[in-house]
Amino acid sequence: MLLAEGGESLHLAVSMLIIFGSAKLLAELFERLGQPGLIGEILAGILIGPAVLNWVQPSDFTATMAGLGVMFLLFRVGLDVEAPELIKVGGTALLVGVSGVVVPFLCGWIFYVSQGKSQLESFFLGTALTATSVGITAQVLAAKGLLHRTASRIILAAAIIDDILALLLLGVVASLAKGRLDVLQLSLTTAMALIFVILVVRWGQKTLNQVVEKLEGNLRVGEAQFALAMILMFALAALAVKVGVAAIIGAFLAGLALADAVPKRVHDLTHGVTELLVPFFLVDIGLHFQLGVFQDWTSWKLALLIIPIAVLSKMIGCGLGAFSHGRAIAIRVGIGMIPRGEFCMVVAQIGLSLGAISGQTFAVIVFMAIFAAMLTPPLLKIAFRGVLAVPPPEQEVFHLG
């Protein structure tokens, strides 16, 4: 019994060493080469995963760590953004979110139909192209101190709308695959998701300021405000999933609501946890790369054709939505909305489990997601060249206990 437990502990420790160590080593290498370190961290996943060395395989453990990583990343981003800033760009964000779902979906669907694929499989591919993995963009913008630029605020707000619309679309497509479409349930889910987001953005910050003020001096546990922040983050993440949107949206909204209510100490602690966990999120993307499927020209042709469609459809769709702010901001928004990630994987897995897509399509979707995630950081670097960082507002410091 003890030996078995020791073996499991050793496996856990070695897995974390390999994942975190390889991610940071390649991140350091890429930073020295003048490239974003997160590209190296994604490549680390490809290197240590089944595609090359096969030291680590995707598992429940890697998925859990990746989920925590992106959750803390979006929570940290939320802490650095003011809710009024997002509200100011709400109209533009709505246009970006809607066009950023409609254009990629139509492009993916038309492309796959033109390749002789079924309508259902084409619907799934189009759906996989819709939702932005904002974690990649948020990591780049946060690292460069650009979260308070107009383009960044539009991206973050649009990503929420994007996520709601993409999940609604997935519900429709999955229902079609099952042979039944529950319009009432989908409508209720959408309404609940919108109400949840509006309530938190409009009144969450004010409410939590009052809660923290009342709790000040009454809590005795160590790092009381950090503990309170973590409870809220996990609660809103769970509630977000319950109402039909991704957990990371709830985590982001929790950070947004707490932005003015917590001291710098909470920001510092969150940053430390994020630095530990985000590499697991990035490595997990690379772990899903499957080289074995690309043994015939048809798979390579589909993959190489779908990549420019995935990139350009987001750039054009989202860029057009933000064009009222000028060409430069439109380009930055379009590029910032390119990454696909966890949502792509979910769509691909659901489609495969329902028999709606082939193994080839599954591999093509995963390949596209990885390539888009790696392409975005250098494009963002070019798009934001010469743009000065805007420091976040000073946080008021509260002392508990």
Domain with 202 in it: what CATH number? 1.20.1530.20
Separation between Cα atoms, residue 19 and residue 312, nearest integer Å = 32
* Of the candidates 83, 150, 105, 91, the residue with the CA atom closest to the CA atom of residue 336: 150
- The DSSP code for 398 is -
pTM of the full structure: 0.78
Question: Does the structure show a pLDDT above 90 at 272?
Answer: yes
Is residue 354 one of the residues assigned to a domain?
A: yes
Helix boundaries (H) for 259-385: 264-287, 297-321, 327-336, 342-353, 359-383
Residue 54 backbone class (left: φ over 0; alpha: ψ -120 to 50; beta: rest): left
Count CB-CB contacts under 10 A for residue 57: 12
Is residue 126 one of the residues assigned to a domain?
A: yes
Is residue 313 one of the residues assigned to a domain?
A: yes
Question: Does the structure show a pLDDT above 50 at 398?
Answer: no
Number of domains making up the chain: 1
Q: What is the dihedral of CA 346, 349, 352, 358, to 10 degrees?
A: 80
Q: What is the pLDDT of residue 123?
A: 94
Q: What is the pLDDT of residue 395?
A: 44
Q: What is the pLDDT of residue 397?
A: 39
Q: Contact, 287 vs 50, CB < 8 A?
A: yes
Is residue 151 one of the residues assigned to a domain?
A: yes
Average pLDDT over residues 284-289: 84
Q: Contact, 332 vs 141, CB < 8 A?
A: no
Separation between Cα atoms, residue 374 and residue 379, nearest integer Å = 10
Question: Does the structure show a pLDDT above 70 at 253?
Answer: yes
Is residue 3 one of the residues assigned to a domain?
A: no
Q: Contact, 251 vs 9, CB < 8 A?
A: no
**Residue range of the domain that includes 143:** 58-383
- Which residues touch 4 (CB under 8 Å, ≥6 apart)? none
* Residue with the two structure tokens 């979110």: 97
Is residue 209 one of the residues assigned to a domain?
A: yes
Q: Contact, 154 vs 122, CB < 8 A?
A: no
Separation between Cα atoms, residue 51 and residue 47, nearest integer Å = 7
Is residue 21 one of the residues assigned to a domain?
A: no
Separation between Cα atoms, residue 39 and residue 24, nearest integer Å = 11
Is residue 331 one of the residues assigned to a domain?
A: yes
Q: Among 42-51, 130-139, 322-331, which is the least confidently predicted range?
A: 130-139
Q: Contact, 127 vs 344, CB < 8 A?
A: no
